[in-house]
Amino acid sequence: MPNLPAQIGMGMTAFTSSDDVTRIELVMVQNLLNTTGKTVYVENESAIDAATAISGSGPAYVWYFMNALIQAASNMGFNPSEAELLVSQTFRGAIDLYSKSNLSCEEWIDKVCSRGGTTEAALHTYRENAVHQDIITGAVAALHRAVELGKGG
């Protein structure tokens, strides 16, 4: 299941195969899929539905969060192009830092947070409003829908 960033070679594709596929054929397929970004081979075909819920739908989740931050920046007085630049560069920088290190998301969050600071204030609000759990619940809803669609529903 590829996703839209595959258009620019930055997609994430999960794939599987049957026992009829030879090792050479599997490597050829993976090499072909790698031209669209990264791949992960899954043993169980049902994991394709989970990959759809996370990576297939995931770009929309990121853009949803980005859109909210762009709106917040606009509400704070930035013009639309400034708001978009602030948010897109923030995401780009955070992703690059994350991918070039061995730190977990939690460890990076701890590095940004200062006791009594601005980040802590925002994260406190997210926790109070169960944003973390809502994101997980949304991904599970996407998984359920992927399973339904896979059954022809």
Q: Inter-axis angle of helices 118-128 and 105-112, to 10 degrees?
A: 130
Residue ranges covered by each domain of the chain:
4-47, 58-150
Query: How far is residue 143 from each of residues 39, 53, 54, 139, measured CA to CA in Å?
Result: 19, 5, 8, 6
What is the residue whose two structure tokens read 């969060």? 65
Q: DSSP 3-state assignment of 34?
A: helix
Q: Regarding the domain delimited by 58-150, which CATH topology (the fold level of the hierarchy) does it fall under?
A: ProC C-terminal domain-like fold (1.10.3730)
What is the Cα–Cα distance from 10 to 30, expressed in whole angstroms? 15
Give the total residue count for the chain.
153
pLDDT mean values, one per 10 residues, the chain (153 residues): 86 94 95 95 94 95 98 98 98 97 97 96 97 97 95 80
Give the DSSP letter of residue 2.
-
- What's the pTM value of the predicted model, to 2 decimals? 0.89
